[in-house]
């Protein structure tokens, strides 16, 4: 148990500071402070000693140097059981600081508000993290508070222990404090990486906030958690059971495709992180019905992402099928009334979700794979018609739609499409020919379209057999990346069968 006699308070976030001051006053704790915090404490009519008075040294460099003083850090860092330390403290006429309450300059919020580099730099806190690290290191003697969320806990601790704190309490706060300084430094480090266009520095730090602990991971014997760079995600659950690890995985897969589609348009159905139906028909109800028709069996127990507001009419259709999650750009009141009749159905409002051009991370054991996301916007210059037969406007639209969906399907990926709707999807096969067969089988089983069918492949056909299988099934146009040693054979086959063939300059594996 350590009795708190002297506290140093320096906070940017002055919320709820009065409650902590009242508690410290009750326990007769001497308070030291500086700058805006000192003024706030005096304004609230509590006794306080200014840091410059305590150290007998005034603030310099426009306030950049206030608490960086031996009297402050010796007061925090000295070991109370060390005779050497205590002799030095006595010799220098220094006194102990038993409690440090600090939260940092709002660097992360500053990044959201301005791109002015000078303003950003001035919001890098130096003294605050230094004091926190000192206090956290010396947790056996010093209590450190780094968030307004810890105030109530501290007040209760002081009340319970008559102005003292326990070692267990201090140790816990030390762990949190070091996490806080590491997080803060990570944000700053990544800012400098970003402004210097350094995507892959020699050492990389990651910062994220815990959002939720799901019930378990992919399976009940696995633990899981979800973190975000932000304090909350830009998706909001408005109904249903707690989201699971698998739900989140499917939601992100669905949103990745949805946000690549035209604004306020498109329905995506996901099962096990793979699309099993996508349509961008302009009529939203027709869009959902068409996407579902692509593979209604796989859609059972899946995730539907509506890149538009869900209305009563669409909700009635959605309610006919067992689904785990429905995502939308909001729901109208009548739609909510209908969908909420299923108490476990998770409803997600993703109207504020923005897919950012950021890095993608995959971890395995102690290693992390990092790459830029595949969200390249297609340009007509990225494609070349290599067949004698040229695509008409309708074919070109369907080919680009199919190719866009294809890049979000697990490789090897084949997507068949008609009227900007998928009619068959083959995914995740070691053989591209097998993916062709699966896509064709799905189309024959579920599709009733009389319109021409186009096909997209996420990578080149290594042999003619894949494109041959597609053409035999009725495909009239194919889009694929170039690069095979047999590209000329593929082109020759397309010309012999009067098939439109377009080569893409970019490949789109997704593993």
Residues marked as catalytic:
137, 272
Please compute, for residue 78, the number of CA atoms within 13 A of its CA located in the half-sphere on the CB side: 23
Strand, coil or helix: 18: helix
Instruction: Output the six-digit token pair for 212.
Output: 């939720």
d(CA 408, CA 273) in angstroms, rounded, equals 9
> From the CB of residue 306, how many other CB atoms can be counted at a distance below 10 Å?
27
* Among 389, 401, 393, residue whose Cα is nearest residue 455: 401
State the Cα–Cα distance between residues 479 and 502, nearest whole angstrom.
Answer: 5
Side-chain half-sphere of 148: how many Cα atoms within 13 Å?
10
Distance CA(66)–CA(58), nearest Å, equals 7
Q: How far apart are CA 244 and CA 89, in angstroms?
A: 54
Residue of 398, 469, 395, 399 lying closest to 429 (CA atoms): 469
Which of 326, 224, 353 lies closest to 270 in space, CA to CA?
Answer: 326
Among 357, 381, 361, smallest CA distance to 370 is for 361
State in Å, rounded, how far the first CA of the chain is from the last one. 54
CB atoms inside a 10 Å sphere around CB 312 = 15
Please provide the size of the chain in residues.
511
Under 8 Å between Cβ of 280 and 303: no
Structure-token match 């035999």, residue found = 472
Close Cβ partners of 408 (under 8 Å, ≥ 6 residues apart): 253, 256, 257, 260, 275, 510
Residues contacting residue 33 through CB under 8 Å, at least 6 positions apart: 8, 9, 10, 41, 48, 49, 50, 51
Count the neighbouring beta carbons within 10 Å of the beta carbon of residue 123. 19
């Amino acid at each position: 148990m350590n009795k708190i006699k002297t506290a140093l308070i320096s906070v940017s976030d002055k919320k709820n500071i009065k409650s902590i001051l009242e508690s410290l006053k009750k326990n007769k704790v001497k308070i030291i402070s500086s700058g805006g915090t000192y003024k706030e404490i005096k304004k609230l009519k509590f006794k306080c000693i200014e840091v410059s008075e305590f150290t007998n040294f005034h603030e310099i460099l426009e306030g950049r140097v206030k608490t960086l003083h031996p009297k402050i850090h010796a007061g925090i860092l000295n070991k109370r059981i060390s005779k050497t330390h205590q002799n030095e403290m006595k010799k220098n006429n220094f006194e102990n600081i038993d409690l440090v309450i600090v939260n940092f300059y709002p660097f992360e919020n500053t990044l959201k508000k301005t791109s002015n580099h000078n303003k950003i730099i001035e919001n890098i806190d130096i003294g605050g993290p230094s004091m926190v690290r000192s206090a956290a290191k010396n947790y056996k003697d010093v209590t450190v508070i780094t968030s307004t969320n810890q105030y109530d806990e501290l007040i209760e601790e002081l009340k319970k222990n008559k102005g003292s704190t326990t070692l267990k309490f201090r140790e816990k706060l030390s762990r949190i404090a070091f996490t806080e300084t590491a997080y803060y430094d990570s944000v700053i480090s990544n800012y400098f990486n970003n402004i210097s266009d350094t995507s892959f520095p020699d050492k990389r730090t990651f910062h994220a906030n815990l959002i939720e602990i799901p019930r378990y991971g992919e399976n009940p014997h696995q633990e899981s958690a979800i973190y975000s760079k932000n304090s909350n995600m830009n998706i909001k659950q408005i109904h249903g059971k707690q989201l699971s690890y698998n739900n989140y995985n499917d939601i992100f897969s669905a949103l990745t495709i949805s946000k690549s589609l035209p604004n306020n348009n498109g329905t995506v159905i996901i099962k096990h992180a793979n699309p099993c139906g996508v349509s961008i028909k302009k009529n939203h109800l027709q869009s959902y019905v068409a996407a579902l028709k692509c593979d209604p069996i796989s859609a059972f127990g899946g995730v539907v992402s509506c890149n538009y507001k869900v209305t009563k009419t669409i909700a009635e259709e959605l309610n006919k099928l067992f689904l785990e999650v429905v995502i939308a750009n909001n729901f109208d009141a009548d739609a909510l009334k209908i969908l909420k009749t299923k108490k476990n159905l998770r409803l997600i409002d993703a109207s504020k979700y923005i897919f950012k051009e950021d890095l993608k991370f995959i971890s395995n054991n102690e290693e992390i794979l990092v790459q830029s996301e595949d969200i390249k916007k297609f340009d007509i210059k990225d494609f070349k018609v290599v067949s004698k037969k040229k695509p008409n406007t309708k074919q070109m639209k369907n080919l680009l739609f199919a190719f866009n969906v294809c890049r979000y399907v697990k490789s090897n990926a084949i997507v068949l499409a008609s009227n900007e709707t998928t009619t068959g999807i083959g995914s995740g096969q070691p053989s591209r020919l097998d993916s062709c067969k699966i896509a064709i089988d799905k189309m024959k089983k579920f599709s009733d379209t009389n319109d021409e069918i186009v096909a997209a492949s996420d990578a080149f056909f290594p042999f003619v057999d894949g494109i041959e299988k597609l053409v035999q099934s009725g495909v009239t146009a194919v889009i694929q990346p170039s690069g095979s040693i047999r590209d000329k054979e593929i082109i020759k086959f397309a010309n012999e069968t009067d098939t439109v063939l377009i080569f893409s300059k970019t490949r789109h594996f997704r593993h």
